[in-house]
Amino acid sequence: MPTIRFRLNGIETEIDADPDTLLLTALRGQFGLTGAHFGCGAGECGACMVLVDDRALTSCDMPLWSVADKNVTTIEGLGNQQHPHALQRAFIAEQALQCGYCLSGIMMSAAGLLKQNTDPTSAEVKAALDRNLCRCGSHNRMVRAILRAAKELRAAKETRAP
């Protein structure tokens, strides 16, 4: 089996696998990272989204070979209880979910948006999240949480600036 190398949540990683293995299968299987969820297996619901470099992409239809030498970030790499990402803080503050199965994909989708647009409008957030499905109807709370995180990130950046 060929070896595929990439950076997973900031750590240099290699895996011996069929290059056509799906990224989600490897993440949840070999790497034991179950934050990205299987929803449809066809890239239609977004529950499995991760960041590949700075873009949010579905991992259930993405072969491993396509992430060779790239940066893959999952929800586990976004932040943790000790060092939460602004999005994680904001989703807790807004209580922005019901069942939460779609949540990690939606947060990674939002993380991808905020890399490209630090000051999105509500309509821009919604447009960016159109690749993600939520069945519980938590959409508006999620949009509010993302706008809140964006604001926090901008404020933090200004504080850091000289």
Partner 1 sequence: MTAKPTPSPVAPLPPSLAANPKLSSWINFAEGQVIVSPGKVEIGQGIVTALAQIAADELDVDIARVKMVRTNTVASPNEGVTSGSLSVQHSGRAIRFACAEIRKIFLDAAAERLGVKPDVLTISDGAISGPGNVATSYWELAGDVSLDRDATASAQPKSISQRTLAGSSQQRLDIPDKVFGRPRFIHDSPLPGLLHGRVLRAELAHARLVELDEARARKVDGVVAIVRDGNFVGIVCDTEASAEAAIAALRKGATWSPREALPDEDHLAEWLKRQPVDTAVISDKKATSPVHVARTIKRQYHRPYIAHGSIAPSCAMAQWDGDHVRVWTHSQGVYMLRSDLALVFKLPRENFAVEHMEGAGCYGHNGADDVALDAVLLARAVAGRPVRVQWSRADEMSHAPFGAAMTIEIEVGLDAKGEIVNWRHDIWSNGHTARPGRADQPTLLAASELAKPFPRAIAVDPPAAAGGGSDRNSVPLYDFPSWHVEAHRLKVMPVRASALRTLGAQGNVFAVESFLDELAFERGEDPVAFRLRHLSDPRSIDVIRTAAKRANWKLAKPDGVGHGIGFSRYKNTGAYCAAVAEVEVGEDIRVRKLTLAVDVGEAINPDGVINQIEGGAIQATSWVLKERVRFDTTRITSNSWTEYPILRFSEVPDVEVEVISRPEIDPVGAGEAAHGPVTAAIANAVFDALGVRLRELPITRDRLIAAMELSS
Footprint on this chain of partner 1 (rule: CB under 8 A)? 21, 25, 28-29, 32-42, 44-45, 47, 74-76, 78-81, 84, 88, 91-92, 95, 97-104, 107, 123, 125-127, 129-130, 132-141, 143
Identify whether the C-beta of residue 119 lies closer than 8 Å to the C-beta of residue 154.
yes
Closest approach, Cβ 68 to partner 1, in A, equals 19
Closest approach, Cβ 70 to partner 1, in A, equals 20
Closest approach, Cβ 155 to partner 1, in A, equals 21
Backbone angles phi, psi at 49, to 5 degrees: -65, 140
Q: Which of 148, 138, 67, 72 is nearest to 106 (CA)?
A: 138
Q: Which of 89, 93, 90 is nearest to 80 (CA)?
A: 89
Closest approach, Cβ 39 to partner 1, in A, equals 5
Q: Which is nearer to partner 1, 45 or 57 (CB)?
A: 45
Q: Which is nearer to partner 1, 130 or 158 (CB)?
A: 130
Identify whether the C-beta of residue 48 lies closer than 8 Å to the C-beta of residue 59.
yes
- Tokens linked to 9: 């949540």
